[in-house]
Amino acid sequence: MRTAPTILHLDMDAFFASAEQAAKPSLRGKAVVVGGLGPRGVVATASYEARVFGVHSAMPMGQARRLAPNAAYLVPRFRLYRDVSDQVMALLRELSPLVEPLSLDEAFVDLEAGGAASDAASARLVGERLRADIRVVTGLTGSVGLAASKMLAKIASEEAKPDGLRLIEPGTERALLGPMSVRTLPGVGPATGDHLRRAGITTVEEIAEAGEDELVRLLGKAHGASLYAMALAHDDRPVVAERDTKSVSVEDTYDVDIHDRVRVQNEVWRLAGRCVERLRGAERSGRTVVLKVRRYDFSTLTRSETLRGPTDDPAVVREAAARLLDSVDTTGGVRLLGVGVSGLADYTQEDLFAQARAQAEADAQPGEAHGDRSASEEGQAAVEEAAEAVDRRWVAGHDVRHEEYGHGWVQGSGLGRVTVRFETPYSGVGRVRTFRTDDPALAPAEPLPLVAVGGAVRGAVGESGAGRGSGSGVV
């Protein structure tokens, strides 16, 4: 293990919720909960204002609503979060070529590899500058941990939350870890924690005192030896630069099990289209199409088909996914569907059948092209129409644009009505208006960037205290 605290761990503070607060002036300083809003929904992130009421990530959404009924409950906007994450990761890569992202809002950085820091003083300066740069570029806050190992850097960033920096001096690790819960160590989840507790081991110091042989007896050779080493603050894991993406996929979990086979086909068609959008957004193609189906009894099936060459043609991916679905029995009901593409490449080898179909369509006479459609064509049109209808759902928190009132976001919808608050990241608190869900002047929109050209978001998140604000009244 190195002798200087030059491994940095960055963890953005309440990332999804903070991004929503920065994007929506009316929610700044108020309780915000982001996650699935249906009966099976869970909390993805809660703002610090919501955490005051006991709301936390992975909590069932129904329980969160009971604890904080006046909070704003929003569906995630991953396109916005990815854009902000890209900005943050770019800042990290300016510090070092060794950046290891763990998620959209979390990463390790080896400061020695980039020459950014070589001792505690220089590491602290880098960490403080990074926090300041993140606030300027994104309007959000992040917490930084600095230590001589990945494990300790992550523990330090957790202690620094929210919006802080914690540096663990080499030589102080054992004293710091000793009184901490065994759950602090990587790889100790609820099951392992309970197993250790039954053996009378509840703190990191007690793991060290038990000895390696006892840990191996309790947990097995690999896990026991690894846990004992970490209890002694030994962690030589290197920071590994981001590896190339191996697959692209999308999936949806449904509030109510889907029994209708046509509905299942419609959903697979829609998911395949979304998957190709992501594939093209990454400027990639792939040769293996994967279908994932979780049935009513929680059994999960996967089916895959490898094409003759990589493609980013939505028709090819949809047809492959449809063929895979033909081999799956969904009569008992479906709770989750997913479509993915793997075997990625930087080029496409167009499917020969797709080329043949395109040529046939180009050669068709106008009368043939617009005449009576076959049953299969009618079915395809119905699927496309159903997919479009699903995509036009007015989702709480998502962006819309009105021809007269401009950009806004959905506060709620139901009974043929949709309520919209018209505001942007750069405006003040906006006005609320209600429309019919079929109002032709209202349409879904893409998220606006959090930072205006030439400056940070006004009223950036982090200026209000974690405990202030009770609720927004948004449902």
**Where do the H-state alpha helices sit in 235-308?**
261-281
User: If we measure between CA atoms, which residue out of 449, 453, 454, 472 comes closest to residue 86?
Assistant: 449
Instruction: Evaluate whether 155 touches 182 at the Cβ level (below 8 Å).
Output: no
Rounded distance between C-alpha atoms, residue 57 and residue 65, angstroms: 13
Secondary element (H or E) of residue 79: helix 78-93
Q: How far apart are the first and last CA of the chain?
A: 50
Nearest to 253 by CA among 298, 288, 289: 298
**CA separation for the pair 234, 357 (Å, rounded):** 61
Q: Where are the beta strands (DSSP E) in 1-52?
A: 7-12, 32-35, 43-46
- Identify whether the C-beta of residue 429 lies closer than 8 Å to the C-beta of residue 461: no
The alpha-helical segments, DSSP class H, found in 115-260 are: 120-138, 150-160, 173-177, 190-198, 204-210, 212-219, 221-231
Tokens describing residue 263: 């509905």
Catalytic member of 20, 49, 100, 106:
106
Type and span of the H or E element at 378: helix 375-391
Q: How many residues in total does the chain contain?
A: 475
Task: Taking each helix axis as running N to C, give the angle between helix 352-363 and helix 314-326, from 0 to 180 degrees, rounded to the nearest 10.
Answer: 120
**H helices, E strands: number in the chain:** 16, 17
Compute how many other C-beta atoms are within 10 angstroms of the C-beta atom of residue 120.
17
| Cα angle for residues 57, 161, 172 (degrees, 5° grid) | 120
Q: Please choose, from the candidates 176, 167, 164, the residue with its C-alpha nearest in 3D space to the C-alpha of residue 146.
A: 167
Annotated catalytic, 377?
no
By annotation, the residues acting in catalysis are 106
